[in-house]
Structure 1
């Protein structure tokens, strides 16, 4: 009889990055903003996403038990990226192995913190772990395809009464490398988490990535947008959803406008305000509102305090002190081959797009989907810290 080989957990090989605060500006990873990696509907999707443009290929596969990870589930990845970038900016050491409390995560992405929300979070983690991605993005000439899941493994820490006190998960190397490279990360408006529709959430990420803060914005052909979305809806139904979004103008920081070029229908995305950008001009002086001097209320002048190790929920893995020499951040633009602003090249013929009979438009206002979370429903749930069961 052969002996079964037990593979050790990946967590045993990584130093944990313990998240002790949820206060971090939300940031998104550029590759995830530009290409179709997630289902835009809350109904269980098992139909794969197959997308190729500009030499880059994306394939996303789901298992029938959980379905494909949704764009609401992607909030977990946005939160993780935000925490990693914030810690790196402050000089803390990070890793792919995150420890945190679910209360921190849910509060940061604008969700409720009741027992049902903890249950939905576990369903999201199950979908993120079971969804398989194959892509050629960011691969060199010798390695053509990378395969991974959004979360390699995850676990929760509970009390004897079933109360959830902490969680931990391991991110894939492909995603982590795309986050610590600051040129591949963009800040997003916190109001993004309040968008309720799958298409409008996806459209905001496209707007932030392509239109950015350009005065002329960005112009898209509707069939091209449909292909970039990975939507299962027909092109005509997708176009109808886009027109309804244009009427409502829900995207924070952007205005949408339908344009025509003969029989072609186009969507122009224009920046409305700089709600997520850095300060462009330097502050020259400290204003005093007419006061001739600034008092110190009898407090002696103090210097900067020594940066000590950060308090954590796991005392044996305290985060080391600050390294103030490595806190630079860059949001420099990358020119990617599968993106084209057709406002400057309108004579090109739009790509042909296959149609499907299913629709992924969602009108439910809750966060993570509760559909088909069979594994998550068998887990025990506890209240938020200080709350009730």
Structure 2
């Protein structure tokens, strides 16, 4: 029996590689008990957020480049990006401007900047990469991507001709956008955005309203940030005749999507689809008997383009059964039965705290996998 193991990360507990390894261990234990011959193909997955670089490099090869950038609060930190065998750079915004880099007390989208993401792009350009994939999940910012643009030479000037500061709280000051010093190498570079977010820039479904609170925004901050992003979009429209206000995905990563599309001609792709293409997942699924996927929490949000949904669509195309094993099953997970997932399981085997479940993630995932595969092998 050939089994494809293609999980996302279990955020805060396991990387997608660690999750795949735990599932593999569980399968092997069941196979030993049931005397079943199995071939296991691990394909760790991601959708553009934290772990994207590691997942892609592990699947198709390449190398990790270490560098230093500014974090969301302007502090110098160690960071990284990946380079594939064809010299395509793979960047995850979370490695420079991610929520994971801040404590809960430090979260403040009025002040946080995407400058470090721009530094990662510049580092990729410095080593000759002309094709860049940017995964923009997990951001701590709501600055419209202005910080990223500043790192690459664009100037956002106030009425006195001075550069505005960092953070979403500064955008209302923009009077003129000067692109004359934009890194010229950008013109010869293809940039692709990997994201599972289709939100527009502003309004009740925009970047500030939907994602601002998890980045530390109060209700008052959300109103200010939304107003500031609209001012930013108006400045782009007025000066460059480009509408980023109503483009699906422009609200991704606190408006980073808008800046990438407006100034870098970037194409927005659903992260899971892009990554499945890169790792040639469909070719692997064609030959499989069972596909196993999973993520930290599976619920109604999974239906908006997360890893298990993407896996299910490919598997259904080839009539392959999919099992989803996740950290937890939340509201609306049942809808995934209609998308081609045969069965869904949570790793939690008894009453326990979230902290305990996350701490024991690998053990719990291995055990539930063994139990599930025991049933599969008995058929």
Fold agreement, TM-score > 0.5: no
Structure whose alpha-carbon radius of gyration is higher? 1
Q: Name the structure where helix makes up a greater proportion of residues.
A: 2
Larger RCO (CA under 8 A, 6+ residues apart): 1
Please state which band the TM-score falls in when normalised by the shorter chain: under 0.3
TM-score w.r.t. the length of structure 2 is 0.23
